[in-house]
Amino acid sequence: MAELSGDSAALAGVQMIEDVQRSVVQVRSGGRGTGAGVVWLGDGAVLTNHHVISGRRRRGNVRVALHDGRTLDADVVKSDRSLDLALLRLEGDPGDLPAAPVGDSEALRVGELVYAIGHPWGRVGAVSAGIVGGVGEFRRPGRGSSTRYVSSDVALAPGNSGGPLLNAKGEVVAINAMIFGLMALSIPSNVAQAWVAGERRPRLGIGVLPVELPAFLRREAGTAGLVIAGVETGGAAERAGLLVGDVLLAIAGKPLGETETLLEAVAHAGDVVSLRVMRGGRIMVVEVRLEESGRAA
């Protein structure tokens, strides 16, 4: 297979960015100002952040500026504060808008090159580049639960919220949401697609952190687990009696050392899942009846 020269690769990268920029819009609400959005489907649908449109003063008070210079009114189809996502529908005749290609966020790898497109400080269509730092659970301040994010070091600023995070193929792999310390946090495309499609996913309702077990426990408990850092009120885990500080050792017989293993097992579980749990040095099995939610964790 022929390889691109340095100049050809650079030009291909520029063309890729320009192609996706046509799918990136400005979202203007009557509350918090301006954010970004991305044409998600070919029928006038736009995906953005909940916090971009949450301050509007009245129903339908959202305007969307397109890449071609037109500005249209938009209705809020649905919005989710916990996921920080909102789906808009453009009014009138938006024409044949180019929907951005959507990639698989689960295929992202640490160190992979990514690009953010948005309108920081009003600079329309600005682009920044960075690398993926991780894909996993992050616990937001003041919340017991955790949410799945892509973390990277792309530069985000006011006006970037709701814009796309792209991989090197020009595919949307996340929706940019916020800055947390020195990290940019973005909502994975797989989570966004499931939410837009209205899929219901089983979930435990907990936030977890990886933990390495001491040597004297390893013969019986294994080398690692996930410690529960937060339990949602009224969630499946609370109903089953799980507590903050419990260490999850295995789910459905699979050892737990990484958050991804837990998420995958829950996603493919039935109505009830079996957890091997350590509490105060004592190991027990807890059966949890799962609840369904549009949220990913």
Looking at mean pLDDT, say which of 155-169, 190-204, 283-297 comes out highest: 155-169
Tens digit of each residue's pLDDT (9 = 90 or more) over 270-288? 778 899 999 988 999 999 9
Domains and CATH numbers, the chain: 6-90 (2.40.10.10), 105-197 (2.40.10.10), 201-293 (2.30.42.10)
Residue 19: pLDDT band by 50, 70, 90 thresholds?
A: very high
227, 209 contact by CB (below 8 A): yes
Give the residue-averaged pLDDT of 150-160.
95
State residue 12 phi and psi, 5-degree precision: -65, -40
3-state SS track over the chain: CCCCCHHHHHHHHHHHHHHHHCCEEEEEECCCCEEEEEECCCCCEEEECHHHHCCCCCCCCEEEECCCCCEEEEEEEEEECCCCEEEEEECCCCCCCCCCCECCHHHCCCCCEEEEEECHHHCCCEEEEEEEEEEEEEECCCCCCEEEEEEECCCCCCCCCCCEEECCCCCEEEEEEEEECCEEEEEEHHHHHHHHHCCCEEECCEEEEEEECCHHHHHHHCCEEEEEEEECCCCHHHHCCCCCCCEEEEECCEECCCHHHHHHHHHCCCCEEEEEEEECCEEEEEEEECEEECCCC
Tens digit of each residue's pLDDT (9 = 90 or more) over 69-127? 999 999 998 898 888 999 999 988 888 889 999 999 989 999 999 999 999 988 999 99
Q: What is the pLDDT at residue 263? A: 76
Give the residue-averaged pLDDT of 220-231.
88
Q: What is the pLDDT at residue 1? A: 46
pTM over 0.75: no
Q: What is the pLDDT at residue 215? A: 85
Q: How many residues does the chain have?
A: 297
Active centre residues (catalytic): 51, 84, 161
Tell whether the model's pLDDT for residue 48 goes beyond 90: yes
Residue 294: pLDDT band by 50, 70, 90 thresholds?
A: very low
The rounded distance, in Å, linking the Cα atoms of 249 and 246 is 9
Tell whether the model's pLDDT for residue 59 goes beyond 70: no
